[in-house]
Structure 1
Amino acid sequence: MNILKEIINNYFNLTSTIITLVTIGLITIITIISYGLERRITDKSPIYIRLPIHLTEGAILAGSMIILQQTFHVLNNSSVNNGWLYANAQLTILLYSMYLLRNKITLLINLLMPFAYHQSNNLQRLTNVKLPYFIVSYIFLVAIVIYIYWQTDRLQDSTIKYLALQILYGIAWWILLWVDHSFSFSNIFYMLIVFVIYMAIIRFCEHKMQLTLAGYDTLKKAVNYDELTGIRNRSNLDKSSKEIYDKYSHENRVPLTMAMFDIDHFKLFNDKYGHATGDEVLRHVAHTMERELYLRKTHGEIFRFGGEEFIIIFRDKTAEECSPIIVDLRNALYSAPLFLNGKKLNVSVSFGVSELKSSDTGFTDLFNRVDNYLYKSKNAGRNKMTVEDVIYDFDENK
């Protein structure tokens, strides 16, 4: 009973509660900011894009350490009493960041932290009889941190491995702290228990945050992406159009081209084979065009405008530069017919293409001109493209 009372008095009090809440708050901030930053990059992103983001994440982690330190000093009137609170909170954020951020800056911070948290102790350790314990524990910590860095995905799917690595990480760190600040091994045991509780709370909160963010992603996708084809929808185009016009209307030297196309005789697919087949044709066209835009590195953005009509925005390209790209897109679609229920369905498209002009007073002017060109292609017999009021037959441009 005395031991239990001591644990409750020392480890579950108002100061501990405040530190815990501050830790949860910092982790929430780290999660939200890093979530937004990591979405901007992939493993294939160039180093000059990834490095600033990773440095920013490292700065956020370092800033969290400083905030915890200042919070602890305020709560304890600059005393070092109950320093385990501060240490456990920092260990929690360090370990959590390893699972969340997964970059070399976070790895480096974890590896250097034993020498950075109390720099005055670095020289004292050289004459400390416990130096061998420090060396062995540090090597052990390095091995654990590197293992977590490389095996993050597998560990998050296994509660047992997650807990085991968490305990080993805590043991390594608390032995390092024991070298600098002698305390009983019973205290290490109590501190490890509190550390495990901290991480359990954090993992629960992190799980809830991930569900919330995933729900936000789902909602965002539903609002901005076409449910049938998976590409961006008219609502997304409406949101982007103002930004596109404001940027390119003031950049006379930087061109912007819009292409609108629709599927020739699409109504026949629905009437002859049914609406399910019509849906498959829409998906086929959208996916083929999106894939070809990506593979050809055109940086074109494709939207489903409505029905069988689609729009492609080509940034930094003139209408003349886009013409051969559009021919290639059409030919790729035409050379890859849709096979459905034993039937071969050849799909052709008609295009209208125009470049943003200095005389355009808004995005609507560009849209109306492109729409007019599209109808010229259709009225000329379809399977054609009209570029700046000049009609071209795709079959003559293979």
Structure 2
Amino acid sequence: MVEFSYYLMLSIFFMLGYTMLFQQLFRVSQRRLIKRHWLQRSQLELPAALFTCLVVLVLRVFSQQLTGRVYWFLINLHFSVINYTAVMVESSLSLLLISIVAFILLASTGAMFSPWSWLFFVLVILVLYVQHLRIRQFDRHPVLYWILPSLMGPAIWIPLYLVAGHAWLMTPSAIFSLCFNYVANMLLAFWYTLQLHRERQLNSKFAQAARYDDLTGFQNWNAFRNDFESAFRRVSVTAPLTVATIDIDWFKQLNDQYGRSTGNQILVTLTHNLNEALAASGLDYRCYRTGGEELTVLLSNTTLSQATPVLEAWHHAIRDLTIVVNGVAIKLTVSLGLTQVRPEDRNATTTFQRADWNLYESKHAGRDKLTAI
């Protein structure tokens, strides 16, 4: 009983530390993606997935020289880490990496010794893949996130014991201990993840705040990333998609000179003006605030040649716009970069980076320019 409690406490502390580091990597990656304007989910998850692979390989090196219960205790931690990660990631690349590491782990234990072992491994991966496809929103399905991974532990250990338990000197009490530890690991990991998720959600009182910028009313970066990837997949010859990136010229200097409240008023006025101009054009559009002074517009069912005149007219109108804040008249200019999704674009990031480059060209040419390529 003392040994059982000892291993249980060790596994719980290890799993809690691993989960905290995993979630922290996610947050760091998210900030990095926003800064670099990357859109793909795989780019967000890759550092965390690679971290998991590293943890599993390090654990395997340590367990290689061990025997008895300590050995199987470490193998159990391998399974816990792999299954937690497989549920939390959404990209196919991340799931593929985890599947490869899981196979290496099982093969190194000598478990892949028969066709039944291979069949069982394939079934486990299929279950993870189905869950990966069907359960995407943690806040809506937290229990479903926990059920399948928790059942996976007993589903792995019990068949292994029945097939090769005597050869590996495993006892029913050892199997019970491993299953119990595994379920406890999953409970703790997903409980912590759920608490962390709810804490982040509480930063916004209403669900709308998860997608919308409080100041401008435009949708935010996370909403843009999801919407753009979805719209990119629907692009066709009859359903073109154009992207416009907009930056307020010398906004930092305006903020420094007149104060942050004035900067906020400039943003509110400008975004309201942009929304009115696009609404009057009749184009199918959605506006986003994707950075401090950076705005992005998605124009569905719109070609570059259709979008350019509308945004050129707005661009010229901004030159004539005067914003009066606290009795001070402020003149503005903006720089724009436009592009249309092309057949050769590998993904949404490729298109967005081209729009971003066009914006850079506008600023490099002296600002107050529109570049459409």
| Interval of TM-score (by shorter of Structure 1 and Structure 2) | 0.5 to 0.7
2:318 aligned counterpart, secondary structure:
strand
CA positional deviation for 1:288 = 4.1
- How high is the sequence identity, in percent, across the aligned residues? 13
Deviations 1:21-78 (A, max 9, x none): 2221121111121244357769xx989x5555554333111122245456x65xx995
1:167–1:196 Cα contact (<8 Å) kept: yes
> Counterpart amino acid of 2:117?
F
| Structure 1 residue 206, shift from structure 2 partner | 0.7
Distance 1:312 1:27 in 2: 34
The one-letter code sitting in structure 2 at the alignment partner of 1:33 is L
Q: What is the distance in 1 between the residues matched to 2:331 and 2:139?
A: 51
Q: What aligned pairs does 1:5-154 form with structure 2 within 5 A after superposition?
A: 6=1, 9-13=2-6, 15-38=7-30, 52-69=43-60, 78=66, 81-117=69-105, 119-122=107-110, 125-126=112-113, 131-153=114-136
Q: 1:289 to 1:171 in 2, by over 3 A?
A: farther
- 1:210 is displaced (CA, Å) by 1.4
Higher RCO (CA-CA < 8 Å; seq separation 6+)? 2
How many residues were matched structurally? Answer: 273
Query: What secondary structure sits across from 2:319 in the alignment?
Result: strand
Residue 188, structure 1, aligned to residue 175, structure 2:
yes
Structure with max Cα Rg: 1
Deviation for aligned residue 1:205: 0.8
The DSSP-based 3-state class of the residue aligned with 1:12 is helix
Post-superposition CA distance 1:223-273 (Å, at most 9, x none): x944463479xxx9899727x99xxxxxxxxxxxxxx7997xxxxxxxxxx
Q: Which one-letter code corresponds to 1:196 in the other structure?
A: V
Which amino acid counterpart does residue 131 of structure 2 have in structure 1? I
Deviation at 1:301, TM superposition (A): 7.1
CA-to-partner distance for each residue in 1:131-175, whole Å, 9 max, x for gaps? 354234223312211211112237874466445413431133225
Aligned with 2:331: secondary structure? helix
Partner of 1:117, secondary structure, is helix
CA RMSD of aligned residues (A): 5.3
2:331 paired residue among 351, 368, 371: 371
SS of 1:351 mapped into structure 2 = helix
Structure 1 gap segments, 5+ residues each: 1-5, 246-259, 264-281, 304-310, 315-321, 331-348, 355-367, 375-387, 389-398
Instruction: Tell me, in whole angstroms, the C-alpha distance in 1 between the residues paired with 2:148 and 2:289.
Output: 45
Please give the alpha-carbon distance, in whole angstroms, between the structure 1 residues aligned to 2:275 and 2:33.
23
What residue in structure 1 maps to residue 318 of structure 2? 351
CA distance in 2, matches of 1:83, 1:372: 67
Give the counterpart letter for 2:18 in structure 1: L
TM value normalised by structure 2: 0.53
Q: Is the 8 A contact 1:20 1:89 kept in 2?
A: no
TM-score scaled by structure 1? 0.51
Residue of structure 1 equivalent to 2:152: 169
Task: Give 2:243's aligned residue.
Answer: none
1:142 match: secondary structure: helix
> 1:22 is matched by which residue type in structure 2?
F
SS in 2 for 1:183: coil
Q: 1:187 to 1:106 in 2, by over 3 A?
A: farther
- Does the aligned pair in 1 maintain the 2:86–2:132 contact within 8 Å? yes
Structure 2 Cα separation of the partners of residues 284 and 211 of structure 1: 32
1:353 touches 1:373 (CA, 8 Å); kept in 2?
no
Indicate how the Cα distance of structure 1 residues 134 and 10 shifts in structure 2: closer, same or farther if over 3 A, else same: farther
Q: 1:96 to 1:153 in 2, by over 3 A?
A: same
Contact 1:98 1:148 in 2 (8 A): no
Give, in whole Å, the separation in 2 of the partners of 1:143 and 1:214: 31
* Equivalent residues in 2 for 1:201-350, closer than 5 Å: 201-215=188-202, 225-227=213-215, 229-230=217-218, 241=252, 285=273, 287-288=275-276, 324=309, 326-329=311-314
User: Within 1, Cα distance between the matches of 2:115 and 2:121?
Assistant: 10
Alpha-carbon distance change, 194 to 121 in structure 1, aligned in 2, over 3 angstroms: closer
d(CA) in 1 for partners of 2:250 and 2:5?
A: 51
